Structure 1
Amino acid sequence: MGLPPLLRGGFRPFFLGGAVWALVVVALWVCALSGAVTLPTAFDPLAWHRHEMLFGYLGAVIAGFLLTAIPNWTGRPPLAGAPLAALAVLWLAARFAILFSATIGSSIALALDVGFLLVLAAVAGREIVAAKNRNVPIVIVILLFAAASALDHTETLGLASTTGAGWRAGFALVLMLIGLIGGRIIPAFTRNWLMKQGRKHGLPAQPSRFDIGSLALTALALGGWTFAPDARLVAILLLGAGLLQAVRLSRWSGLSAARDPLVLILHIAYAWLPIGLLLLGASILSPAVPATSALHALAAGAMASMTLAVMTRATRGHTGYPLTADRWTVLIYSLVTFGAAVRVGSPLIPFDYMRVIELAGTLWGGAFLVFVLAYGPKLIGPRRDGQP
């Protein structure tokens, strides 16, 4: 008897599980914010919401992406069957352990949460080293992500006063992954689409020292923000990084590929990165710019939009569906973009704050709901073309 489709590739359980968990987290957070529920976690509600979207949801998406990319990098068989199921169960156990950590204990939650990331790093490292592949740095990033999660837990446990360095480090690592991976796939996918349309001029610029310099300044700025979030020098670095990332994006010919939603969403998602960096730098220099707007531009904007863009594209490609955006896919992109925009602007919108937050949560959460409904059957079912 063959493997169930859900366990034939890492993207299947982790993309689906991550999207469902994002829905749960947003719904519980909005309810907790309005006072409708009391969360049974040792984290305060804001810290739980932030940790679970960062290390829970994004941890799942990173796992799904990595476990799917590694066989392409190495030529080795993908993780599947019982080992994949065990890793997915470990991720899920960590989520419930953290949610109910006020009852079962914070130490168990920490062990399961960090343990999942360490096992993921071990699995990825084994495959990459065995194939003598050059992507060893991605394993280091996962280990640093695990360390950031552990640091966030220690503050909840009261073992250390890190003043938020753990979650900021996690933020910084994910944003650097967006900068690195986005810098590979966005111009490549854009170039491929334009060439299929017969375009020979005005193609995305090839990677150059400018890209390296942009990423280096972004890493320096985010590293500074992780450990000195209120420093004026950090603000200046963030503003500089935001400007360079905006120029970098402008070199990828996004408007020329606007007719293909699968390509356009990658450019829109990446645009949130320079917007968020600029807002973050400005928020340090001026109290008139809300820090929450900057953080949500980076999280609800860049992180959520980019992951949904990658999840939809990868799911279609690996389940035998054409790389075209149907109406449900376009709806996902529209909801996450408008939801992020409303959340970023919520401190400045002249309406009742909770109503605006609820609207943003409904739009943003709606994107994940549509993903689960439209892409869940693809992730659970067999490939459309009958291949394994």
Structure 2
Amino acid sequence: MLEGIKVLSFTHFLQGPSAVQMLADVGADVIKIEPPKGAFERGWAGFDAFQEGVSIFFLLGNRNQRAIQLDLRNEQAREVVRRLIEEADVLVENYRPGVLAKLGFGYEDARTINPRLVYCSCTGYGSTGPYQKRPGQDLLLQAMSGMAMLSGDGETAPTPVGSAIVDQHAAALAAFGVLAALQRRQRTGKGCMVESNLLNAALDLQIEPFTYYLNKGPLWKRSSPAMGSRFHPAPYGVYKTADGWIAVSLTTTDKLASAFDSSELAALNHPKDPVRNRDRVHQLVAQALLARTTEAVMRAFDQHDIWYAPVNDYAQVETDPQVAHNGVVMHVDHPQAGPVRLMAHPVRYDGQAPALRRMPPALGEHTREVLAEAGYSAARIEQLLAEGVALAPKTEVEA
């Protein structure tokens, strides 16, 4: 769908790489421009997840791309980038504000080289403002955006989400912004500056509770035991059973009373009781569940049409029939890491996920190829490599 669109990627960590991977998955020619030591994610992985020396963190966000190594401290390398910008449709970067501008590749510089360029900047807090120099990282944004205060037991610490959801949402917003700007360029011929930042993404994820707060005031306090949110009526959240856990959502008290044979819940029969007597309903449900096994609860809930779900760990998610049916996991045979399982592109187009066209690239794997496409002769390419301006893995002959 994006065949013929060339994207230059100055990205590292997760937000930027995930954004360009979405574009690459649907056909864009993404060229990852890396410094001599490579992008950060090549040498780091959460859970210390390396396979045969290859970072799983790198593999999960860099497929369907090409890689070129350039030492941008060198003016000749910067000239290479300027030549690449001339022919590019999109440039995506997620360095701290001002870093690329110091190298001569900020938006104003880039648009001078190529007025049709869509330039996407991914930052922590925005390219301007009082926080522009602060480190932008998922957990920090969950904390300062109010997200961590939405969940958890009211008598214990605020609870962040245990995944980098802000990074990933900001990446999706960046990809969306790029596509919108490309659509406008098709009509007008003009490029655009697109900005996606973690702060805006974190608040966008909270569009419901934050908007309630803005218009009605403070949300309900965090409950003990914990509820699943600070604005839903009870019951809502993950509840402990006699032998495990279960999630219960948005259920009327009459159904709960029947399922638990509870006169106390039956007495709370006004439609507004889950709101007016939220804590009481929550406590009664919590107490009733503690006395029953998870299996017994699920049977009763099925009989009484109560919304619930099992609380799975990853071993159960991995074997879930709907997860398998949706083709969420893709199996890859990486040339160095060997067999690896990765997440497939999340959207389906005519029922299909985009194919894997390129493995996540080795550092500098496509340096020679990209330079040749940019018009450099074979002799000039070898000269740039010999001078350390550009870097590439050794060929079989050189090895």
Question: Smaller-chain TM-score range?
Answer: under 0.3
TM-score calculated relative to the size of structure 2: 0.27
Q: Which has the higher contact order (CA 8 A, sep 6+)?
A: 2
Q: Which structure's residues are more often helix, by fraction? A: 1
Task: Give the structure with higher Rg (CA).
Answer: 2
